[in-house]
Chains A and B, each alone.
Chain A
Amino acid sequence: QVHLQGSGPGLVKPSETLSLTCNVSGSSIGVGYYWGWIRQPPGKGLEWIGNFYHSGSTYYNPSLKSRVTISVDTSKNQFSLKLSSVTAADTAVYYCARRGFISDDAFDVWGQGTMVTVSS
């Protein structure tokens, strides 16, 4: 069974870089599927951040593209999110998720979510 576990600092200062990691168990991220991030501000809806394909291609939300980097470490079977120049608007629960197993468009496995607050 595939399991995703996100981790990272729960508090980030404005203008700094938010960094999160998602550890994957039960599946090798280097052999297939799309792996990415989705966030949800408190009391609000879901927002797709971006994902990468195992071949190395990356795709980002146009509204965040200038600040986002998703990278992968196949040796540790984990992938990471970096979001630079954060503001209070980036306060959210950040989910890591897998897409492409059942169907290319279905996010079928999600991490538990990591709450990140941007505040000084």
Chain B
Amino acid sequence: QSALTQPASVPGSPGQSITISCSGTGSDVGAYNFVSWYQQHPGKAPKLMIYDVNNRPSGVSNRFSGSKSGYTASLTISGLQTEDEADYYCSSFTSSSTYVFGTGTKVTVL
């Protein structure tokens, strides 16, 4: 299984909104609404930010939102803050009953 495709980096200014894309295939992102997003700060374990395409776990800021269209899922961060600077990974369930992660996106707050 191939990793889902994400942009390597997305820059943004404080207060701005940014969107990270996650492109898959008809066997993963396009087949199920089982896409989740994770935030990872350096040296830390990943943290769940979005699940089932557009649901936020308790405690996650409503500045984070998710969506999906066809084979591409997206994570939008609105009102960008310095603490949002981190790596972000998408993940999807696949038709083989396995999981695949995205290549990862580094968000830089300028």
Contact = CB atoms under 8 A, between A and B. Distances in A.
B30 to A, nearest CB: 15
Contacts of B92: 105
Interface residues of B, number: 28
Interface in A37-73: 38, 45-48, 59-63
A102 B1 contact: no
A45 B96 contact: no
Given A46-B89, A48-B98, A61-B98, A107 B46 contact: yes
A107 B57 contact: no
A45 B101 contact: yes
Interface of A: 38, 45-48, 59-63, 95, 102-108, 110-113
A48 to B, nearest CB: 4
A38 B92 CA distance: 14
A107 B36 contact: yes
Interface stretch (B19-27, B47-55, B75-83): B47-55
A38 B52 CA distance: 19
B91 A59 contact: no
B3 interface: yes
- In terms of DSSP, what is the predominant structure of the interface of chain A? loop
A105 B89 contact: no
Given A45-B101, A48-B101, A110 B45 contact: yes
Given A46-B104, A103-B52, 5 more contacts: A46-B38, A62-B1, A104-B34, A105-B34, A106-B57
Interface in B69-110: 89, 91-93, 96-104
A66 B1 CA distance: 15
B24 to A, nearest CB: 13
A51 B98 CA distance: 9
A106 B98 contact: no
Contacts of A112: 45
Which of A62, A110, A112 is the most central at the interface, judged by chain B CB atoms within 10 Å of its CB? A110
